[in-house]
A = this chain, B = another copy of it.
Amino acid sequence: MKLWGGRFAQETDALVRRFNDSLPFDVRLYAEDIRGSIAWAEGLVTAAILTPDEADTIVAGLNQVAAELAANAFQFQPGDEDIHTAVERRLIELVGPVGGKLHTGRSRNDQVATDFRLWLMPAIDRLQAELRQLHVALIEQAEGHLETLLPGYTHLQPAQPISWAHWLLAHFWPLTRDARRLAQARHQADALPLGSAALAGTTLAVDRPALAAKLGFSAVTANSLDAVSDRDFAADFLYASAMLGVHLSRLAEQLILFSSAEFGFVQLADQFSTGSSLMPQKKNPDTLELTRGKSGRLIGHLTGLLATLKGLPSTYDKDLQEDKEPVFDAFDNLTLILPVMAGVIKTLQLRPERMTAQLEAGLLATDLADYLVHKGVPFREAHGLVGTAVQLAEQTGREINELSLAELQAISPHFSEDVSAVFDMQQALQRRNIPGGTGPAAVAEQLAAARHWLESDQKHSSSRA
């Protein structure tokens, strides 16, 4: 059924139909479309367009359509250009001409915006739940590792000792920011466009706030022109997805490094690795690589939608049909990536001996400078003196803690016997019990804050201690 067939003398070209039709992807909105139509039918009773009996007939018909779709028993017809058309066509088949009253005072413009928002809100809830599993996995891995040492890196060069718990939590907090962004996108979706009709508002006396409440929206949209063209919620969702992808890509990248033969700090569980078709000895971090790769796609989806939206005048243009595929694809990918990453973290095997093997005394050069500072040497000068010591050690093929006291004193008279204490790695952690630092007490507080964030209403909390 073409809804606008009355006017056109010539048949629409088959190719054009295939080009224009959105059914292949918007069929996914069927449940939301029918939910929205049921609410609208009830609204039409209030507006005195339908009798209660007519509404009952329509609702019963819609429920049957939904059942057919759920059971994969729905027969699509060549003229079903989108899910809205398909549902209405089938409804009329089932209930007769009264079904033709359903679309009164409504347009596909407000209908599709309503369906899409109805779909997105629980989709985000689902992602939040999956994300929570990853949060939990990070916290659980962190517990018990407050004193497990590994080198912290900057510029991918070993810099200072940190704890494994601190490292894990460094990936926890970015994900809280993602949860926040997802919540913002959901909030942006949470207003009912229905009643905006094609662009100017419906002429029927429907009760929009009541419709909103019935469908689970917190509010109604403020301006009908804006309502039919606003896709900010889709862009907000794609941005939240892209940033989540960026954070997961960074986590994946670092685990790929840490599971390399050269680092060897962690080992992926077998079920999250794959082998090689040619090289039987390989154990490849495919899941991590795909996670990393897919974040490119998420960035692309965001960019694409922004470019599409940029050129449109206000109200509905057909370009907006391009809104759904990237959103569906981002959702589908994230609902795979998130549990996979949670599984990776949960089953990650540590190799603490490899971590400590990389803890060279050079990582405490800053602590050595701080030692001099506490002896009264200005930091800039201390920094230079330690640099000289590092150079001496390197030139003579030793670690900095292998320099003799005499050698050190030749560099600065402020060095004395107590300098050896500087080179204790656990003490180096303990020196950093400042809030946010890697010291075990500080990390214990951080863990408590992380758990608290999880327990509280996540959506509006921030990622701060």
Contacts and interface: CB of A to CB of B under 8 A. Distances in A.
Contact of A7 (B300, B391, B465): B391
Contacts of A416: none
A173 B220 CA distance: 13
B154 A316 contact: yes
A73 interface: no
A90 to B, nearest CB: 13
Interface string A283-316: 1111101101111111111111111111111111
Contacts of A158: 261
B436 A199 contact: no
What is the oligomeric copy number? 4
A88 B278 CA distance: 14
A114 interface: no
Contact of A271 (B10, B358, B360): B10
Interface in A133-167: 151-162, 166-167
A383 interface: yes
A159 B199 CA distance: 8
Contact of A16 (B152, B281, B287): B287
A4 B313 contact: no
B310 A310 contact: yes
A260 interface: yes
B315 A277 contact: no
Q: Is the interface of A mostly helix, strand, loop or mixed?
A: helix
Contact-residue size bin, chain A (C-beta under 8 Å from the other chain): 35 or more
A200 interface: yes
A56 interface: no
Interface in A388-425: 388-391, 400
A200 to B, nearest CB: 4
A300 B293 contact: no
Nearest to A305: B296
A319 B290 contact: yes
Contacts of A250: 309-314
Interface in A78-133: 84, 88, 92, 97-109
A355 to B, nearest CB: 11
A15 B322 contact: no
Nearest to A304: B300
A464 interface: yes
B296 A308 contact: yes
A349 interface: no
Given A6-B385, A243-B306, 19 more contacts: A3-B383, A7-B281, A8-B270, A16-B287, A100-B378, A100-B379, A101-B379, A152-B315, A155-B316, A157-B283, A162-B200, A170-B314, A177-B188, A187-B462, A218-B464, A250-B314, A280-B369, A302-B306, A310-B310
